[in-house]
């Protein structure tokens, strides 16, 4: 019964899978050859908070901030992402 179901699925024969795999590998090799220089991309996020309470004593500072960032180095299809964050709380 499983054989009958799998025969009706698209790309169920092994030749189709070999062909799809070949084109996926070929596309990634073309991308790796096309990138001959190091690319650097990233982002930086900053935020802040205000804290106030009535009726009880304050449990933390009234102002706090946070900074987070990401930098990504890429060369020939190899990526090196670096992420960091800091929070003053």
Across 50-60, b (16+ Cβ under 10 Å) vs e yields eeeeeeeeeee
pLDDT of 76 reads 80
Q: What is d(CA 75, CA 34) in angstroms, rounded to the nearest whole number? A: 10
Does 20 lie in the same domain as 53? no
Q: How many domains does the chain have?
A: 2
Contact 86, 47 (CB under 8 A): no
Predicted TM-score (pTM) of the model is 0.51
The pLDDT of residue 11 is: 55
Is 2 found in the same domain as 15?
Answer: yes
* Domain shared by 43 and 82, yes or no: yes
User: In which domain, by residue range, is 63 found?
Assistant: 37-89
Q: Is the domain of 42 the same as that of 53?
A: yes
pLDDT tens by residue, the chain, 89 residues: 455 555 555 555 666 667 677 766 666 666 656 567 888 999 999 999 999 999 998 888 889 999 999 999 988 878 899 999 999 86
Examine the domain organization and report whether 42 and 77 are in the same domain: yes
């Amino acid at each position: 019964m499983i054989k009958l179901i799998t025969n009706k699925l698209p790309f169920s024969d092994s030749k189709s899978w070999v062909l799809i795999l070949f084109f996926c590998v070929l596309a990634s090799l073309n991308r790796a050859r096309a990138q001959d220089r190091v690319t650097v991309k990233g982002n930086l996020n900053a935020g802040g908070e205000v804290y106030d309470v009535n009726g009880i004593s304050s449990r933390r500072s009234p102002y706090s901030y946070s900074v987070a960032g990401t930098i990504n180095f890429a060369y020939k299809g190899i990526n090196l992402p670096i992420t960091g964050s800091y929070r003053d709380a």
